[in-house]
Amino acid sequence: MSSVSDSLVIARRNAIRMTRIPEMVLFGVIQPVMFVVLFSYVFGGSISVPGSGLSSSGYREFLMAGIFAQTVTFATAGAGAGIADDMHKGLIDRFRSLPMARGAVLTGRTLADLAQTALTLVVLAIVALLVGWRTHENFGKVLAGFGLLLLLGYAFSWIGALIGLTVRTPEAATSGGLIWLFPLTFISNAFVPSQNMPTFLRHIAEWNPFSATVQACRELFGNIPPGYPVPDAWPMQHPVLASVIWSVLIIALFRTLAVRKYKAAS
């Protein structure tokens, strides 16, 4: 209970910091909104999705799960930069001098980032509805889809925490938090069907944890076009379960590594 209390105190501290620097939240929202608009209207009538052809409305429904997932994973860079900034300013050293749980600093930070990610998803969903995205399942399944997105975002924030503790400057944390995300998100089923990729890339995309969450969200949102050929890979056949397993494994692994790194630096 002491560890939970300490984590909530740190989360509150970071949440207050966000309200005092609103441009952090604003810029975090603008980028995914730009992705929605650009992909919807620039690529919407040019990319063929099995089951919906070159229909721009069909592509928008196919696309949005990928944009949502990309948004929650790109928050990793912000988490890493924030922790690196606290390290650089000596704030982490002050926390170390206090009688508090060692993992609370990192847990509180990741919880605050999760709250910001949830706010960004709300805004993004509204913009998606305005450009023509629709869901075709009941409200419970739609909420479950967003729950999987937040779970993935929380899992990836622990990767960001480890990066932030490893590098020396916030600038390096931002670069280190983004450079590996681009191949992760683009070698996936987020923006185009994986069936048209070369064989070795297709296998990577189908077993990519990012792809599992995207496919799960499409299923829960009812955004899989009629006649869309679902790949035979196990994560694509059972995307909801695969998404949960991947996210839990990432949290367990990278939280352990991040807390260990934090203790070693103390």
The parent domain of residue 244 ranges over 2-265
Residue 54 has pLDDT above 70, yes or no: no
Question: Given pLDDT bands bounded at 50, 70 and 90, which one contains residue 77?
Answer: confident
The more confidently predicted of residues 139 and 42 is 139
Distance between CA 20 and CA 18 in Å, rounded? 5
**Beta bridge partner(s), residue 49:** 53
Contact 220, 145 (CB under 8 A): yes
Distance between CA 47 and CA 59 in Å, rounded? 7
Q: What is the pLDDT of residues 189-222, one digit of tens each?
A: 988 888 888 999 999 999 999 999 999 999 999 9
CB atoms within 10 A of CB 105: 26
Report how many domains make up the chain: 1
Cα-based angle 15, 16, 21 (whole degrees, multiple of 5) = 95
pTM of this structure: 0.88
| Residue-level pLDDT at 61 | 84
Mean model confidence pLDDT for the chain: 85
Distance between CA 72 and CA 202 in Å, rounded? 23
Residue 159 has pLDDT above 90, yes or no: yes
- Helices within the chain (DSSP H only): 2-20, 22-38, 56-89, 91-96, 104-130, 139-166, 170-179, 181-186, 199-206, 209-221, 234-237, 239-265
| Residue-level pLDDT at 68 | 93
Q: What is the pLDDT of residues 225-235, one digit of tens each?
A: 887 888 889 99
